[in-house]
Amino acid sequence: MNKKALVTGASAGIGRACALALLKDDWQVVLVGRRVDALQETLALAGDKAGNGWVMAADVADEAQVSQVFSQVRDRWGRLDLLFNNAGVSLPGTLPGDVRGEDWRRAVDINLNGAFYCLSQAFRLMQEQQPQGGRIINNGSISAHVPRPGSIAYTATKHAISGLTRAASLDGRPFGIAVGQIDIGNVASDMTASMATGIRQADGSIKTEPRMDMSAVVETFMTMARLPLSANILFTTVMATSMPYVGRG
């Protein structure tokens, strides 16, 4: 029987690439995002595997919408083997004193609250289903370890994701629920296009940064997804080899 997965933020970037990899690997996949048209574009890219995909429009920051998504998953499948908690948003580079409360709350609502709503719903389903258990992979970030200049909201929420991962991993042990986190640095996508032309560094200079191909992220993600539930990658970092992460500056 095909394993069942749910991917948030599946309309573009990392979420799209990982959802397509799961479909290619014969998983049945719920693709979740705010825009139906973009989700349909993702599904169309799956070719003859598109029949294993299921598009559901939802804003993860809305607890009621998340609850409705998982209610439909429960009704249709009765189980979930994998949640990729991927949806997120970043703000333009802003000093702490200039971050508006509404922008701070938007980042927290999507990056942290949304991740928790999805994790909570998936955890409950995996706890109750038979056979019991499943896997949850949270998309952290290099920012779960170190910040970029002007990124206080994004960095704070991504540090919180690490706490979410650790706590849920501990609580999942009695139920066969494996919770891990993938921290990604400088993958080539529309969101990181500025890195190829120059991005602000800690010393105030503007420099280009190396980026890695999306395939490196997908391979790392699929390694986590394919593990038996008796094993878990709690944290892993995949990044462009020469990006300015380890070192001073």
Looking at mean pLDDT, say which of 53-57, 198-202, 205-209 comes out highest: 53-57
pLDDT band at 1 (very low <50, low <70, confident <90, very high): confident
Q: How does residue 119 score in pLDDT terms, banded at 50, 70 and 90? A: very high
CATH tag, 4-239 = 3.40.50.720
Q: What distance in Å separates the CA atoms of residue 119 and residue 157, rounded to the nearest whole number?
A: 15
Environment class of residue 69 by beta-carbon count within 10 Å: exposed (0-12), middle (13-18) or buried (19+)?
buried
Residue 33 has pLDDT above 80, yes or no: yes
In this prediction, residue 87 carries a pLDDT of 95
Q: CA 166, CA 170: separation in Å to the nearest integer?
A: 6
**Which pLDDT score, from 0 to 100, does residue 49 have?**
96
On the question of a cis peptide bond just before residue 131, with omega within 30 degrees of 0, the verdict is yes
Please report, for the chain, the start and end positions of each structural domain, with discontinuous segments joined by +: 4-239
DSSP alpha helix (H) spans, 77-174: 101-107, 114-128, 152-172
* CB contact burial 95-128 (16+ within 10 A = b; e otherwise): eeeeeeeeebeebbbbbbbbbbbbbbbbbebbbe
Which DSSP symbol is given to 57? E
Write down the pLDDT at residue 131: 96
Mean pLDDT score of the chain: 95
Q: Is residue 181 very low, low, confident or very high in pLDDT (cuts 50, 70, 90)? A: very high
Residues taking part in catalysis? 154
* All residues at 6 or more sequence positions from 139 whose CB lies less than 8 Å from its CB, including other chains: 9, 14, 84, 85, 86, 88, 161, 181, 182, 184
* Complete edge-to-edge strand list for the sheet that includes strand 53-57: 53-57, 28-33, 4-8, 82-85, 134-139, 177-185, 235-239
Assess contact for 116 and 164: CB atoms under 8 A: yes
SS3 151: strand
Q: Which pLDDT band, with edges at 50, 70 and 90, does 193 fall under?
A: confident
Q: Is the pLDDT of residue 125 over 70?
A: yes
Cβ proximity of 224 and 233 under 8 Å = yes
pLDDT of residue 249: 53
Structure tokens at 139: 């998309």
DSSP, res 207: E
> How confident is the model over 89-110, as a mean pLDDT?
95
pTM listed for this prediction: 0.95
Say what the pLDDT of residue 209 is.
86
Express each pLDDT in 20-30 by its tens digit: 999 999 999 99
